[in-house]
């Protein structure tokens, strides 16, 4: 009697186990099919992902990109001079678009009240910083002369 009972129990649990196992297999198989049928959306293409996670800007640590050395005394604020180069490579990041209320390059209206303060003041503010204007435009490696040339260039563009 007892033996018989436990025999039934064993068979019963084996059957139950088999059924559960079967269900589990079915579910697994289904999931595999689902996974197969799902195609990754275009936005998950490696290129698209790469594009999205690309840094907004690249920071170069160490040697800053060389600003061409001024050719001693021949250096002026004239077009093509070191001033223009520095302005386009350093200062324009803010001043081209007038970021943070910076006087826009080429805007006489923006520059007139600045120029009124006198060129020496502008030099000092460009070299040492002024409110949101970072000292030397954030490029401490620039010489005072280079910054002055850049100021001259920006001023010349606003007249
Ligand atoms: C991070 C942005 C930024 C960069 C880069 C930058 N400037 Fe400016 N600059 C400003 C802002 C903002 C002002 C306005 C400050 C104010 O009037 O409060 C300003 C103002 C100035 C002024 C006028 C100062 C005055 O007294 O009115 C000069 C001159 C100037 N910048 C020169 C330069 C030069 C030269 C460079 C490049 C070497 C440069 N800036 C780079 C943001 C910048």
State the Cα–Cα distance between residues 41 and 64, nearest whole angstrom: 41
User: Mean pLDDT across the stretch 62-80?
Assistant: 53
Q: How confident is the model at residue 14 (pLDDT cuts 50, 70, 90)?
A: confident
Q: Count Cβ atoms below 10 Å from residue 18 Cβ, excluding itself.
A: 10
* CB of 157 shorter than 6 A to ligand 1: no
The residues, any chain, with a CB within 8 Å of residue 148's CB and separated by 6 or more, are 123, 126, 127
Mean residue pLDDT of the chain comes to 84
* CB of 105 shorter than 6 A to ligand 1: no
CA 31 to chain centre: 39
* CB of 112 shorter than 6 A to ligand 1: no
* CB of 137 shorter than 6 A to ligand 1: yes
Q: Are 98 and 104 in contact (CB under 8 A)?
A: yes
Q: Which protein residue's CA is at the shortest distance from atom 26 of ligand 1?
A: 122
pLDDT at 75 over 50: no
Residue 87 Cα: closest atom of ligand 1: 37
Q: Residue 102 has what pLDDT?
A: 96
Q: Residue 66 has what pLDDT?
A: 62
* CB of 131 shorter than 6 A to ligand 1: yes
**Which of 87, 95, 152 is the pocket-test mutation for ligand 1 (most atoms within 8 Å of CB)?**
95
Q: Which two tokens stand for residue 89?
A: 């490579």
The rounded Å distance from CA 61 to ligand 1 centre is 23
pLDDT one-digit tens code per residue, 78-131 = 446 899 999 999 999 999 999 999 999 999 999 999 999 999 999 999 999 999
* CB of 147 shorter than 6 A to ligand 1: yes
């Amino acid at each position: 009697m007892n033996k018989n009972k436990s025999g039934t129990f064993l068979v019963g649990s084996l059957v139950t186990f088999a059924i559960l196992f079967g269900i589990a297999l079915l579910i697994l198989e289904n999931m595999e099919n689902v996974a197969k049928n799902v195609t990754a959306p275009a936005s998950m293409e490696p290129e698209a992902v790469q594009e999205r996670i690309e840094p907004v800007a690249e920071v170069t640590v160490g040697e800053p990109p060389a600003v061409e050395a001024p050719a001693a005394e021949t250096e002026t604020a004239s077009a093509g001079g070191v001033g223009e180069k520095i302005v386009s490579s350093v200062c324009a990041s803010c001043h081209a678009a007038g970021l943070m209320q910076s006087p826009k390059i080429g805007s006489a209206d923006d520059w007139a009240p600045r120029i009124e303060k006198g060129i020496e003041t502008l030099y000092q503010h460009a070299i040492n910083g002024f409110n949101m204007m970072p000292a030397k435009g954030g490029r401490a490696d620039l010489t005072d002369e280079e910054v002055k040339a850049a100021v001259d260039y920006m001023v010349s563009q606003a007249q």
